[in-house]
Amino acid sequence: MSGAARDALVLAAGRHPLAREVEAGLDRARVERGARVLVAASGGADSTALLAFAAGLAARGRIEVAAGHVDHALRAESALDRDAAVASAARLGVGCAVRTLSLAPGSGLPARAREARYHALAELACEAGCGTVLVAHHADDQAETMLLALARGAGLAGLGGMPSRRPLGDGVALVRPCLRIARAALRAACADLGLAWREDPGNARDDSPRGRVRHVVLPALEAVSTGVAERAARTAELLRVGDALLGAHVEGMRAPDGSVPRAALRGAPAALAATAVWMLTGDALDDAARWQAAEAAIDGSTEPRRFPLAGGGVLRVDAHALRVDPQGAGAAPPDSDAARQRS
């Protein structure tokens, strides 16, 4: 591609209506003007669109941009994904560093691959002098995450979905500036700009919980009310604020030893007590046990109750307080802020 054609593409990307929404997403996530960012480029439509918008915003001085691709080397065609990401970055005049993973087969592979990918992106960001990694999670991804959280009874923290910003490690932040943008809009933007992308065949499968939500549940909701993903993404922002406010309120109830006095919950609704239980135990109690403990906290009985925690230890509800007892194989009570941070 000639320099003039590249400049025209970048200019068009910067003028695209969605570029303004990406810039607003950067603002919401507190990415400073002129910050150097690394776009996680998978070769798919979502990250290709984000990379184009980032290049357009860089041309206007909003950010400085680099790109990085992580090759999991788990599919025969992963080299094609890598080549597509590098080629898209080159068309936009952006350098794209590549990191190839070596993952052992076996149990927990998706989770291990995800953890290794984020670790690799943090390393690539540091090497490129970037303090921020941009990923292209969008409104549909957020809606899927919220619905899965609803199904497992994940409370406000889970229903709040993915945060727009979170620490990634080594002083690098992970930022999601596309959370208010629908998947279809990002694909349409690629078509508008003449950008090619690769399809991940795994995205078409519906034999996993996320796949069923993506291909069955969300289309059914969209048939009821169009634009459901974008509205869900905005609702997630409200829920995250509500979770933070409620968490701060319950945190203020805690005694110096970290327990929650039952006197502070006297007359409180079970939902408030469940928030206290959640703050103490994180995900170490399942939904049914969490609500049983909440009811025990407010029922007026002085009889001690014990609720075993996954990984060891127990939540004790005695006559005076709720507290985690790490007796046995358990660890110390989870840090409330860390327990509430997801994805």
Residue whose C-alpha is closest to residue 53's, from 23, 32, 30, 82:
23
91-122 confidence digits (pLDDT tens):
999 999 999 999 988 888 989 999 999 999 99
Average pLDDT over residues 242-253: 96
Residue whose C-alpha is closest to residue 54's, from 162, 186, 227, 198:
186
Average pLDDT over residues 325-337: 53
Confidence category of residue 331, pLDDT binned at 50, 70, 90: very low
CA distance 158 to 140: 16
CA distances 316 to 223, 247, 270, 285, Å, are 46, 20, 17, 12
Confidence category of residue 56, pLDDT binned at 50, 70, 90: very high
124-160 residues labelled b (16+ CB within 10 A) or e (exposed): bbeebebbbbbbbbbbbbbbbbbbbbeeeebbbbbbb
CA distance 303 to 17: 61
Confidence category of residue 2, pLDDT binned at 50, 70, 90: confident
CA distance 86 to 59: 19
The beta-carbon contacts of 234-237 under 8 Å, at least 24 apart in sequence, are 234/180, 235/146, 236/142, 236/146, 236/159, 236/160, 236/161, 236/162, 236/179, 237/160, 237/164
The length of the chain, given as a count of residues: 343
| Number of C-beta neighbours around residue 85 at 10 A | 28
CATH of 3-232, one of 3.40.50.620, 3.40.309.10, 1.10.3720.10, 3.30.70.141: 3.40.50.620
Tokens 């990191």 belong to: 99
Helices in the chain by DSSP H: which ranges?
A: 3-15, 17-28, 45-59, 78-91, 109-127, 139-152, 155-159, 183-193, 209-212, 218-224, 228-251, 270-281, 287-298, 336-340
Q: Which residue has the higher pLDDT, 336 or 317?
A: 317
CA distance 212 to 332: 37
- Kindly tell me the burial class for residue 122, based on how many C-beta atoms sit within 10 Å of its own C-beta (0-12, 13-18, 19 or more): buried
pLDDT tops 90 at residue 341: no
What is the overall mean pLDDT for the chain?
A: 93
pLDDT tops 90 at residue 339: no
pLDDT tops 70 at residue 312: yes
Sequence spans of domains, the chain: 3-232, 255-340
Tokens 């690629």 belong to: 190
Q: In the chain, what percentage of residues exceed pLDDT 70?
A: 95
Q: What is the pLDDT of residue 343?
A: 60
Rg, C-alpha atoms of the chain: 23
What DSSP element (H or E) covers 317?
Answer: strand 314-317
Neighbouring-strand partners of residue 166: 174
Residue 320 is given by DSSP the state S
Q: Which residue has the higher pLDDT, 328 or 74?
A: 74
pLDDT tops 80 at residue 178: yes
Q: What is the pLDDT of residue 64?
A: 98
pLDDT tops 80 at residue 333: no
For 103-112, 267-276, 278-287, which range has the lowest pLDDT when averaged over its residues?
103-112
